[in-house]
Amino acid sequence: MTYILRTTQLTKSYMGNEVVSNVNMKIKKGEIYGFLGPNGAGKTTIMKMITNLVKPTSGEIELFGEKLMNQSYHLLGRMGSIIENPIFYDKLTARKNLELHCEYMGFHNKQAIDEALVLVHLKNIDEKPVKDFSLGMKQRLGIARAIVTKPEFLILDEPINGLDPVGIKEIRDLFKMLSKEYGITILVSSHILGEIEKVADTIAVINQGKLIEEVTMEHIREKNSEYIELATNDYKKTAYLLEHQLKIVNFRVIDNYFIRVYESDVSLGELSKMLILNDVVIESIHKKESSLEDYFLSLLNRGGISA
């Protein structure tokens, strides 16, 4: 297996306070790896260590199969990143900012600047200094700067901050296109579950500096099947009937009210009929699909995350 990034027991402490603890993560070539965790979980710190902005207290980082050292400029040149809010030369235009960045990176391809601006949908901005940009436009320019040198590995810290729903969708599509058509590997962080779910191939859940889970979306989709959720006037009797009349064992009572039936062979009609015949009043009954949110709730139930 080719890994673009591998960390081993990666740890960072600030004044004795461990903010990243023994993180072992693996990012495969070409995948979109979503980093999910609440504010303060340690996502930015890990990204800073990967981009050599912060030195680990202990542990190792391997990029493109090579150990990351202080002087690994050749490895950093193969990456593009936005970490925290991107900073620009405010009085200069977007194009000038990108030109300066390319110069700094030793990348000489003027056409790439036009391509990057088109990809992030920044148009009619040739006269405008960046200080007149909206937050969303600055965010797009940050992405343009990260991709302009055609990196193999993109590291994007909360890149959709400040974007409206249309902008979020455009950026999401852009990430998918970069990954599919250009084979670029992407590490993207967010605290928004629904966003990561829509874009990532693999999700790493991080909380309080620890990697709680690293799981492929494929695995989550396989695990999460449909279920029927019902509420009645008597959950105990309902549970009893499910078990003894329909011989269903695969169900769960939630908050002493809702019952989730995970059995796939039982139909909604069959279930309703049996309950009505037994004088149980059905208050609601629906077919539902469990989502990443449910998966997270199950992690939470296992004590993995403090919400």
19 near ligand ATP (CB under 6 A): yes
Which residue from 37, 80, 86, 142 is in contact with ligand ATP, where contact means CB under 6 A?
Answer: 37
240 near ligand ATP (CB under 6 A): no
Which residue from 41, 113, 196, 242 is in contact with ligand ATP, where contact means CB under 6 A?
Answer: 41
Select 37 or 80, whichever has its Cβ closest to ligand ATP.
37
Q: How far apart are CB 234 and ligand ATP at their closest, in Å? A: 45
Q: How far apart are CB 40 and ligand ATP at their closest, in Å? A: 4
Supply the DSSP string of 75-93, one letter for each residue.
Answer: HHTTEEEE-SS----TTSB
Q: How far apart are CB 88 and ligand ATP at their closest, in Å? A: 20
42 near ligand ATP (CB under 6 A): yes
43 near ligand ATP (CB under 6 A): yes
Burial 222-258 (b: 16+ CB within 10 A, else e): eeeeebbbbbbeebeebbebbeeebebeebeeeeeee
Compute the distance between CA of residue 105 and CA of residue 78 in angstroms, rounded to an integer.
Answer: 10
Which residue from 40, 65, 183, 194 is in contact with ligand ATP, where contact means CB under 6 A?
Answer: 40
Q: How far apart are CB 9 and ligand ATP at their closest, in Å? A: 17
Q: How far apart are CB 44 and ligand ATP at their closest, in Å? A: 3
Number of residues that bind ligand ATP (CB under 6 A): 10
Select 45 or 185, whichever has its Cβ closest to ligand ATP.
45
34 near ligand ATP (CB under 6 A): no
Select 44 or 185, whichever has its Cβ closest to ligand ATP.
44
160 near ligand ATP (CB under 6 A): no
Structure tokens at 88: 């620009």
Q: Are 41 and 209 contacting, i.e. CB atoms less than 8 angstroms apart?
A: yes
Which residue from 2, 39, 70, 71 is in contact with ligand ATP, where contact means CB under 6 A?
Answer: 39
Q: Are 272 and 282 contacting, i.e. CB atoms less than 8 angstroms apart?
A: yes
H-assigned helices in the chain: 43-50, 73-76, 94-105, 110-119, 135-147, 165-182, 193-199, 217-223, 235-244, 268-277, 292-301
Structure tokens at 241: 């009937």
Select 205 or 220, whichever has its Cβ closest to ligand ATP.
205
Q: How far apart are CB 43 and ligand ATP at their closest, in Å? A: 4
Compute the distance between CA of residue 204 and CA of residue 189 in angstroms, rounded to an integer.
Answer: 9
Strands 202-207 and 210-216, how do they pair? antiparallel
Strands 32-36 and 58-63, how do they pair? unpaired
Which residue from 44, 52, 93, 139 is in contact with ligand ATP, where contact means CB under 6 A?
Answer: 44
Supply the DSSP string of 115-151, one letter for each residue.
Answer: HHHHHTT--S-SS-BGGGS-HHHHHHHHHHHHHTT--
DSSP secondary-structure letter at 248? -
CA-CA-CA-CA torsion sign (177, 140, 47, 218): negative
DSSP secondary-structure letter at 280? P
Please give the residue whose beta carbon sits closest to ligand ATP in the complex.
Answer: 44
306 near ligand ATP (CB under 6 A): no
Q: How far apart are CB 16 and ligand ATP at their closest, in Å? A: 11
Select 19 or 246, whichever has its Cβ closest to ligand ATP.
19
Residues within the interface to ligand ATP (CB under 6 A): 14, 19, 37, 39-45
